Amino acid sequence: MEDSKKAQVIVIGNAKGGSGKSTTAMHLAVALMELGHTVATVDLDVRQGSLSRFIENRRAFAHRQSLELPIPEHTGLAPDSYGNKSAGRVEQERLGDLIARLGPVMDVIVIDTPGSDTMLSRVGHTWADVLVTPLNDSFLDLDVLARIDGETLHIAGPSQYAEMIWDQRKKRVQLGLPAIDWIVMRNRLSNLNARNKHVMADILGDLSGRIGFRLAPGFGERVVFRELFLKGLTVMDLGSVAGESRLTLSHVAARQEVRALVAALNVLPPVVLPSNVPPLATVLATE
Ligand SMILES: Nc1ncnc2c1ncn2[C@@H]1O[C@H](COP(=O)(O)OP(=O)(O)O)[C@@H](O)[C@H]1O
Ligand SMILES: [Mg+2]
């Protein structure tokens, strides 16, 4: 199946809710379609269903306004049974079948995941060619990547999520698949707290070298990233849709942020792990 799969699978993941996964998924999907790519979207968080509702809203808005909006081919995939962490086989099969169907005919498959460690989320992560992790710009959210000592701000050890990704990467190395290209982007960046921002940047820079992710330019804290949800529109649609033609400076900046993220998806080759991958804790412990 890998032979016939041409689609690049982009998984949006972070073990925390509210970090901007669904927002990033919507904006990436629309921005990639705007560039002429065929895009399928998969919602693995049907309980919240943000991405699914966004696409429904988009379809309804296009219908009401008789507009030809680019709309991704969307599938919501429910877990086999809520809370059953031992299952996984059914989920693996369902997602495998879906990707086998979409892979040969799509350029990109964007997979949105829930903000919790469910079997379905793990299964989703195994398919990632690219993993995009939006991270709220706060110390509270850094612990998705690593445990940070509050006194010294030193890295105290890996987080559960980073361990999970590390395991997936090992699996891919063993299966002879290309490494996951892991991209971390800061979300909801504000102009305030300039000092914290620099400390965050330092810690992230340090972590990126150790854990093996790339840092991409993030999104600012902007109303426009959420106000268009009910219409199923993104900042990428503004200007081309009737009634949504007025572009403010913040809109233009937001659009540039989305374009910069899209550009970051393909610029650098992914980090290559050695075939005898050491435990993540060992990597983080070396000075
Ligand atoms: N850059 C941003 N600026 C302003 N609001 C944002 C931004 N990113 C996300 N949000 C808002 O934050 C909330 C959580 O975002 P969401 O994409 O649903 O996160 P997740 O999917 O990780 O749970 C939503 O209300 C969303 O509109
Ligand atoms: Mg979500």
In a domain, 192, yes or no: yes
Q: Which ligand is nearest to the CA of 51?
A: 2
Q: Which ligand is nearest to the CA of 258?
A: 1
Q: Mean pLDDT throughout 275-283?
A: 66
User: Residue 269 pLDDT more than 50?
Assistant: no
Give pLDDT, residue 152: 85
In a domain, 1, yes or no: no
Task: Spell out the SS3 assignment of the chain.
Answer: CCCCCCCEEEEECCCCCCCCHHHHHHHHHHHHHHCCCCEEEEECCCCCCHHHHHHHHHHHHHHHCCCCCCCCEEEECCCCCCCCCCCCHHHHHHHHHHHHHHCCCCCEEEEECCCCCCHHHHHHHHCCCEEEEEEECCHHHHCCCEEECCCCCCEEEECHHHHHHHHHHHHHHHHCCCCCEEEEEEECECCCCHHHHHHHHHHHHHHHHHHHCEEECCCECCCHHHHCHHHCCCCCCCCCCCCCCCCCHHHHHHHHHHHHHHHHCCCCCCCCCCCCCCCHHHHHHCC
Q: Which residues does ligand 1 sit against, CB inside 6 Å?
A: 17-23, 50, 115, 187-188, 219, 221-222, 225-226
Please write the tens of the pLDDT for every residue from 214-264. 999 899 999 999 999 999 999 999 877 766 667 888 999 999 999 999 999
Please write the tens of the pLDDT for every residue from 55-106. 999 999 999 999 899 999 999 999 886 555 556 788 889 999 999 999 999 9
In a domain, 3, yes or no: no
In a domain, 169, yes or no: yes
**For a pocket test of ligand 1, which of 12, 23, 51 has the largest count of ligand atoms closer than 8 A to its C-beta?**
23
User: Residue 162 pLDDT more than 70?
Assistant: yes
CATH number at residue 237: 3.40.50.300
What residue numbers bound the domain in which 118 lies?
Answer: 8-285
Give pLDDT, residue 268: 42
Give pLDDT, residue 114: 96
Give pLDDT, residue 41: 98
CA of 115 to the centre of ligand 2 (A): 7
Kindly report the pTM of this predicted structure. Answer: 0.90
Q: Which ligand is nearest to the CA of 224?
A: 1
Closest atom, ligand 1, to C-alpha of 50: 18
In a domain, 172, yes or no: yes
Please write the tens of the pLDDT for every residue from 111-148. 999 998 888 899 999 999 999 999 998 888 888 999 98
Task: List residues, by chain if needed, whose CB lies under 5 Å from ion ligand 2.
Answer: 21-22, 50
Closest atom, ligand 1, to C-alpha of 112: 21
In a domain, 2, yes or no: no
Count of structural domains within the chain: 1
Closest atom, ligand 1, to C-alpha of 134: 22
Among 44-48, 164-168, 197-201, 219-223, which stretch is predicted with the lowest mean pLDDT? 197-201
Give pLDDT, residue 1: 44
